[in-house]
Amino acid sequence: VVAMSQTWRFYSFLAVSCCMASALNSTCASPGTAGPYLLQAHQARSRVAVQHGVSSGLMTMWSDSETTVVGGSCEYANAANGGLQSPAASSPYIAAKAYCAADSALYAAGAACGSCWRVSYDGSSATDPGTAGSMIVQIVDSGSAKTFDCQVVAFETITGARTGVFPITYEPVECDTAVSGASATVLDGDNAWYTKVIFSNLLHAVSAAELNVGSKTFQMSRVSGATWSANTDGSTGSASFSVTLDSGDVVSIPSCFAAWPVATGDSCTASASPSPSTSPSPSPPVSTSSPAPPSQCTATGENCQSSTCCSQAGYQCYEKDQYWASCRDSCVPGINPLDPPEYQTPWSCTILGTSPSPSPSPSPSPAPAPAPAPAPVPSPSTTVTLSPSPAPSPGPSTAASFSTNTMGASKARLFEFVDTLTDQPVTGSAARAVHSSGGAAGGVVSEGQGYGLLIAGTVLASLDADDSDRQLVSDLAYEMFLGWRRMCVLSAGSGSCQDDEGFECGGGQYPCLAHWKFGDDLTTIIGQGAAPDGDADALGGMLLATMAVEDESSRPTWYDEMGQWAYETCKQFYLSSTVASSSGKHRIVKLGSCWGGWGGEGQNPSYHAPGVYRLCKHFMATHGATFGKPSGEGASFEGKWDQVIDTTYKMFEADQCESTGLITNWAKVYEESDGQTLTASTGFSGSGTPGAEYGSEAARGVWRVALDYLLFPDDAQEALEFLEPVTSHLDRKLTNGNWAEALDIDNTCLVETVHPSWSWNMFMAGTTFSSLVAPSALSSTRQQELIDAAGQRVAMKSIEDYYSGSWIAIATMTLNGDLSKAAMKIGLSSASTDTTTSSTSAESITSSVTTSAGTTTTSTSATTSASSVTTSAPAAKVFTPVDGGDDRACRGASTSDNSNSHYSVVSATSIDACKGECIGEAACVGIEFKGTRCEIWTRDGGIQASKQLTGYTCLRYDYPIQVREGEFLPVDGGSNRVCRGSSASDNAASYFTVQSGVSSLESCQSNCREDASCTGVEYHVSGRCEIWVRANGPEASAQVDGYSCWRFEDGSTSSEREGYWQMLDGSVDRACRGSSASDNSASYFTVYYGIASSDSCKMTCRRDSNCKGIEYHTSSGRCEIW
């Protein structure tokens, strides 16, 4: 009896055993019809068990592909019907990769499709070492040479191995099903005479099926696998299905389609619980207690801790842990492999309650004894389909970025990376090599070696000085560097394509950019020419490691060596791996030192690493006196790197899909004839990856941009603009803690396809998830939920190969905050920034879209209410149009923010009646009206955006705001200019707030007039409006197409002095001096760089009460304020 109580969910050989077991499980003894009903269901399952019993067989590994099930003979993931997105692929076993192919005997010409089996390995002798295990799997394919041929996830769970032939036992069990219920999917439709249908998400395999159309019934016959067909004689009308399972149970899918025939791909679902083939009708006993009515009980898949009862007959409320309980027909203590991987924690299977019985005919019943109230249990933070989300990261992340604590330590991932992928192959050398595999790899490639150096350098920079492993990590960083340096030294012979510029490393003896491929011995050259992606990652690792130790009282002996090599590599990269455009106004990163560039020469957008280029700019400027040749040359590279960074982001803008944020694997990039605009097209591939795909190449670009933001949050505004649509895209892909199987494709842009299984391939997921570190228009709560879920997905993966494994490690140190921590520790981002919570930073973006009716929060100033700029206390609120009002639909933080929580809907006969409804609601902040539909908006942040929709009217309801007099003056001509502070590179996030969905430049300027702190605006035709609050407004600009920059001169005040300019010695080609031509003391002036014109330099002087004159250099933008 005890043994049966552990396995009753699968089968019972005698009816009495079921009842004996149910005494422990509270099932058969349920009052009413549930007990006899379940007894009959268990008797049916006993027939299956008697037929099959527990058998012995062999198992092999089918495939490690994420999409192996596509093309399986059962056709659940029929490629023509959407593959893994097919409605027929909704089984939780497919999602969990707990599926197998069967041999011909077990497959039985398709009769076994959809059946489930407990497969167990006892640890006995096999062809390969393994460990005992067990798992329930579903049959989805045929053709196995052994009894079962299983996907690698299932195979490894059962055997602990990834290859080999293993002896197993197997026994039939009832399948778990997704809460969506039984599904019928039409594979051959649009035909009133014939159809083919597949049934899925059922407790057992299907043994018979029938289709009802109108008043006619058609018996269906198996075509193959799990598909069934019927000749329907031209019948039309409503359609329903009834399927008989091999257990004898019957499942009905009533009212499936309202009008038959239907199109191919159409599907319908119904409750997955079967109705018994013969309905028992026992006399129900008199109840002695009063269970909750079904309407108050919990549905399958929801948390039943509060109700402790289940609405579905035969189900019981089983406890998982203190946070979660769920209604199930059975429960086995321990980990349920069908839970999403990130939620696979043990079930206790304590029964909290059962499903209520149907009410019997009225009859006297004794008053029930009061039942003790259940002990209160905390609710889970997030309710998901199968089990709860773990507790979220405690509070928002630190710094102006987000992070998660759901994924473990970067240091541990570094050690795993080193143990799995590296060795020291050169006798007598400490050089450490990262070994690669797959694709064009194999051996030691610069990409993999670069990843290793990057990971080690970042971890070293993030560690506290007293970390017990700091010395070990320092040693590993140096060993990775020695491996990289050896690759460079070996590249000196020929083919490096750096001869024309001259070798920079090792005193001019060696190229700093290594050949891209070597043998595993780290000696044999296999592939010549440098690859800039590996070069940039190695550069990042060298620079971070060097800066991590330079302030130590006792620097490691390798500091000077690595620092010098890093400096020289920055210089070599600029000289050998970038190329100017025909106009000289742009400089783009090539495909390597030997190939690639503009137009048909080809580009890989993901090779571009603006964060590393900005890091080179910083390092060369600050360390030029130490490592430069000549000393101090580093400062001369600042403008050069700015040009590369600017070109990089213009390239991204040309290639990126605006609605999804995705970029292509490969592209061709052109400079237009105006010398200002870059355009991109596809039709090029430099490897086996499709050019127009967002895939294994392209996804890295997201991380490289995120790196720019994490290292330089005050300077990398372009990074935020790039990452925003990616984060918004991910927001659409997470539902109840589960990531969608596919990313969106916008057919209006360059990306045509997306690599499959993006959220499971870490070279896709780890990179794409990195956008979540940057603040966005999402609420901080939602973004924290996203990054927590991303961390959980990455954390479940182990490092097994160099490509996915590298991105597991890199994603870990990115998402857990260690990259931000490293930037702060080496002085790239200020401590004051790090003390700002992510809630503040994210909400500053969100609230920055507030216009005249709301409040505006910036990262450096306190909230300023709209009433603070009114001249007197307002007597009453008024209605004002949003973006003109007419033909505008109201939105929240952006044009896509239309959550139904922002408003309630009432009926109103006119817009005045709608206004009256708003006035009567204390929390009303505005209305949207069309016809008789009246939306009463109550969103905390007010109506901050609108969308063009014919016939709608959007009005904001708030106190009137005084509009300031004054004029907008174009900065450096205004057109195609982005605003900057004191120089073209001065773009601190504290200078402005961002509004999205602003319909015109005039609306952006109007919002500025209504904000007492506004000193200027930057506007982009996409609707992006920056409200500048910097005290002196925008004083400089940079050239970026599609933008315009305007400084607001308040009519009531002016900070610019009157006066006139006098030319000295003719002015042109003259440098300013003091009392004589040799008197040029540095104390006489302040230097500003990147000033676009002499007029801007003069304006800067007018605003400085101490300024007596200027010196301006046209080509460099250098402005001296004397």
- Over the stretch 31-51, which tens digit does the pLDDT of each residue have? 232 222 222 333 333 333 334
Average pLDDT, integer, range 1040-1066: 78
Question: What pLDDT score was predicted for residue 209?
Answer: 94
pLDDT at 867 over 70: no
Q: Which residue has the higher pLDDT, 975 or 457?
A: 457
Average pLDDT, integer, range 306-310: 83
Question: What pLDDT score was predicted for residue 286?
Answer: 32
Question: What pLDDT score was predicted for residue 829?
Answer: 67
Pair 787, 400: CB distance under 8 Å: no
pLDDT at 973 over 90: no
Which strands, in side-by-side order, build the sheet including 878-891? 878-891, 945-958, 926-930, 933-937, 903-907
The whole-chain average pLDDT of the chain stands at 80
Q: Which residue has the higher pLDDT, 969 or 835?
A: 969
pLDDT at 839 over 50: no
Token output for 585: 């106004």
Average pLDDT, integer, range 905-923: 88
For residues 319-352, b (16+ Cβ closer than 10 Å) or e, as one string? Answer: bbeebbbbbbbbbbeeebbbbbbbbbbebebebb
CA dist 198 and 76 (Å) reads 7
Question: What pLDDT score was predicted for residue 857?
Answer: 27
CA dist 618 and 616 (Å) reads 5
pLDDT at 149 over 90: yes
Asked whether the bond before 294 is cis by omega within 30 degrees of 0, the reply is: no
* Run of H or E including 786: helix 780-795
Residue showing tokens 């035709």: 1021
pLDDT at 179 over 90: no
Query: For the whole prediction, is pTM greater than 0.85?
Result: no
CA dist 601 and 669 (Å) reads 9
CA dist 75 and 89 (Å) reads 9
Average pLDDT, integer, range 102-122: 92
Up-side HSE of residue 453: CA atoms within 13 Å toward CB?
A: 34
pLDDT at 1009 over 80: yes
Question: What pLDDT score was predicted for residue 279?
Answer: 32
Please report the DSSP string for 531-591 in residue order: -HHHHHHHHHHHHHHHHHHTTSSS--TTHHHHHHHHHHHHHHHHHHHEEE-TTSS-EEE-S
Q: Which residue has the higher pLDDT, 343 or 166?
A: 166
Work out the angle between the directed axes of helices 532-549 and 818-825 (0-180°, nearest 10).
Answer: 50
Question: What pLDDT score was predicted for residue 38?
Answer: 28
Average pLDDT, integer, range 212-222: 91
CA dist 155 and 1070 (Å) reads 79
Question: What pLDDT score was predicted for residue 1024?
Answer: 85
pLDDT per residue as tens digits for the range 194-203: 899 999 999 9
Pair 131, 66: CB distance under 8 Å: no
CA dist 846 and 832 (Å) reads 21
Provide the percentage of residues in the chain whose pLDDT is more than 90.
Answer: 45
pLDDT at 543 over 90: yes
Q: Which of 385-389, 832-836, 911-915 has the highest mean pLDDT?
A: 911-915
Average pLDDT, integer, range 938-947: 87
Average pLDDT, integer, range 941-957: 86
For residues 445-475, b (16+ Cβ closer than 10 Å) or e, as one string? Answer: bbbbbbbbbbbbbbbbbbbeeeeeebeebbb
Question: What pLDDT score was predicted for residue 80?
Answer: 79
Helix, strand, coil percentages for the chain (3-state, nearest 5): 30, 25, 45
Question: What pLDDT score was predicted for residue 784?
Answer: 93
Q: Work out the pLDDT band at 1090, boundaries 50, 70, 90.
A: low
Q: Which residue has the higher pLDDT, 337 or 1096?
A: 1096
Question: Based on the number of CB atoms within 10 Å of its own CB, is 993 exposed (0-12), middle (13-18) or buried (19 or more)?
Answer: buried
Choice among 1-15, 317-331, 937-951, 994-1008 with the minimum mean pLDDT:
1-15
Average pLDDT, integer, range 233-244: 91
Phi, psi of 577 (to 5 degrees): -115, 10
pLDDT at 306 over 90: no
Pair 772, 786: CB distance under 8 Å: yes
Query: CA–CA distance from 890 to each of 659, 709, 1027 (Å)?
Result: 20, 32, 21
In this structure, is the dihedral angle defined by the CA atoms of residues 473, 475, 478 and 479, taken in order, positive or negative?
A: negative
Token output for 376: 């209160």
Q: Work out the pLDDT band at 338, boundaries 50, 70, 90.
A: low
Average pLDDT, integer, range 782-806: 90
Question: What pLDDT score was predicted for residue 1055?
Answer: 57
Average pLDDT, integer, range 804-812: 95
Alpha helices per DSSP H over 597-637: 610-627
Choice among 604-608, 804-808, 1095-1099 with the minimum mean pLDDT:
1095-1099
CA dist 515 and 256 (Å) reads 62
Average pLDDT, integer, range 290-313: 69
Up-side HSE of residue 787: CA atoms within 13 Å toward CB?
A: 32
What is the C-alpha radius of gyration for the chain, rounded to an integer number of angstroms? Answer: 34
Average pLDDT, integer, range 61-70: 87
Question: What pLDDT score was predicted for residue 837?
Answer: 30
Reference 350, options 391, 409, 308, 311; nearest CA is: 308
Phi, psi of 926 (to 5 degrees): 165, 175
CA dist 565 and 638 (Å) reads 19
Question: What pLDDT score was predicted for residue 814?
Answer: 97
Q: Work out the pLDDT band at 924, boundaries 50, 70, 90.
A: very high
pLDDT at 703 over 50: yes
CA dist 799 and 420 (Å) reads 7
Average pLDDT, integer, range 73-100: 89
pLDDT per residue as tens digits for the range 127-142: 899 999 999 999 999 9
CA dist 700 and 697 (Å) reads 6
Question: What pLDDT score was predicted for residue 439?
Answer: 42
Average pLDDT, integer, range 363-374: 33
Q: Which of 313-327, 469-483, 962-976 has the highest mean pLDDT?
A: 469-483
Question: What pLDDT score was predicted for residue 1056?
Answer: 64
pLDDT at 12 over 90: no
Q: Work out the pLDDT band at 354, boundaries 50, 70, 90.
A: low
Longest dimension (CA), the chain: 116
Please report the DSSP string for 862-892 in residue order: --B-GGGGSSS--SS-EEEEEEEEEEEEEES
Q: Which residue has the higher pLDDT, 792 or 52?
A: 792
Average pLDDT, integer, range 505-526: 93
Average pLDDT, integer, range 418-430: 93
Pair 491, 457: CB distance under 8 Å: no
